[in-house]
Copies of this chain bind each other. A is one copy, B any other.
Amino acid sequence: MKIQNYREVKGTEVVPGVVMRVVAGPAEGAPTFVMRVFEIEPGSSTPHHAHGWEHEMFVVEGKGVLKSGNTERPVEKGDAITVLPGEQHSVLNSGKDLLTVICVVPLVDGKMPGMIVSD
């Protein structure tokens, strides 16, 4: 068992204005999936992309827009989001405060898959 506050986990800036912290997963011995916390600065966005596995996300703080193909839908604190394998998606911080989002993905060959596999 491991407990760690996400703010104490080293972050990686995956694209400008987007920091990822890997808070629970294979480093802790979990065999199936990995939980990451993304902190997205106002005006910043994750890249619009798709991949062969699902995302399950939860908005911890802030407001944003979830894009999928040509559709855009607002998201806010308390929203749970399921993105299915193959669906294009990106998350934009449309608010004035930090947008904090949990994003869980399955392990691929026992490892966290790369953030972007195909554009």
Is there an interface contact between B104 and A73, defined as CB atoms closer than 8 Å? no
Q: By DSSP majority rule, is chain A's interface helix, strand, loop, or mixed?
A: strand
Verify if A118 is at the interface (C-beta below 8 Å from B): no
| A15 contacts the other chain (CB 8 A) | no
Residue A31 interfacial (CB < 8 Å): yes
A25: B residues at CB distance < 8 A: 56, 82
CB distance from A49 to the nearest CB of B (A): 14
Q: Which A residues are closer than 8 A to B by beta carbons?
A: 1-7, 9, 23-25, 28-35, 37, 53-54, 56-58, 60, 66, 68, 73, 75-76, 78-85, 87, 89, 102, 104, 106
Closest 8 CB pairs of A and B: A23-B80, A28-B82, A24-B56, A32-B106, A24-B82, A35-B56, A30-B54, A2-B82
